[in-house]
Amino acid sequence: MRNLKYLFIFLFFLCFNNAWAINISESLVPGGLAILPLGEIKINKNNVTTNRPKVTFQGRKSAIAVYDNYWYAMIGLPLKLKPNKIYYARVSQSGKKNNYLINVKNKKYPEQRITVKNQRMVVPNKLDMKRINSEKKIISKAKYYWDDQPLDYNFKRPIEGKLISKFGLKRFFNNQPRSPHSGIDVPAPTGTPINSIAKGKVLLTGEFYFNGKTVFISHGQGVVSFYCHMDEIDVQEGDLVTQHSIIGKVGSTGRSTGPHLHMSLYFNGVAVDPEIFLEYQEYQKEPK
């Protein structure tokens, strides 16, 4: 019986861990992306899809993508997940329910220490905290937004350049620990145009305490992109944008030490590493 158990586990991963079939690579680490292949699309004689899957992970709906006439679930893996542990995605399809195993591996993210001149951007006062807590509710609603629009995950870089901060860094502001970096930072001159990474709908715009001038865009299926520290915002809530739409200009608003774009990407409300989709080079420090 024990040998049969291991044979089953081997066959399970042989059959279902073929996410290479889609044209991106999954990243089974905290802050990464799991891709579950869920079979060929089936359409009945009335041209109605009969086996569209529904997938949840930790109680939240996950994006369903289509590639080469096959279904794939795309699941954001929270940075707070404990590594070297197996998690479950729950799948409902064609009247059947299954649990899919996701084996999350370890990844060590380096530290980053940043000096901020405005101390209130590190230790806000009571009035600041009242504003911050109010803004959190608005921002959270945008991060967890869901609609059933088809997802086009063929994302393109919002601006060109090289990264100064990668995703997942353990951050210290003025030597005080803060939340890990939830996106990527690309420096550029003030006023550099910023493009939406894909078509979508503008969910939220505004100027927030830490993020400065900010735009959230829904790309369908719970996938949301986030752009902040902007100098100008060139779209309004409810606008429909294309991949080439200019949504604003690079700036240094909010908690920022210089003009740059911070961009985050959310799947099922979870920040994932944008470099899974967007290839950037990293600035190399010159040797002393």
Q: How far does Cα 176 stand from its chain's mean position? A: 25
Give the span between the Cα atoms of 139 and 136, in whole angstroms: 5
Q: In degrees, to the nearest 5, what angle opens at C-alpha 199 toward C-alphas 256 and 209?
A: 25
Closest by CA to 185, choosing from 127, 95, 262, is 262
| CA distances for 2 relative to 6, 16, 199, angstroms | 7, 21, 50
Question: Is the distance from CB of 16 to CB of 24 less than 8 angstroms?
Answer: no
Pairing of strands 33-40, 200-208: unpaired
Structure tokens at 87: 């998690």
Overall average pLDDT of the 39-58 stretch: 88
The residue among 182, 190, 188, 201 whose CA lies nearest residue 157 is 188
Could you give all domains of the chain from N- to C-terminal order, each with its CATH number?
2-104 (2.60.40.1590), 111-282 (2.70.70.10)
- Read off the pLDDT of residues 207-238 as tens digits, 9 standing for 90 and up: 999 999 999 999 999 999 999 999 999 999 99
Convert the pLDDT of each residue in 75-133 to its tens digit: 999 999 999 999 999 999 999 999 999 999 999 999 999 999 999 999 999 999 999 99
Res 178 pLDDT > 70? yes
Quick check: pTM over 0.75? yes
pLDDT at 285: 60
Q: Counting beta carbons within 10 angstroms of the beta carbon of residue 248, is it exposed (0 to 12), middle (13 to 18) or buried (19 or more)?
A: buried
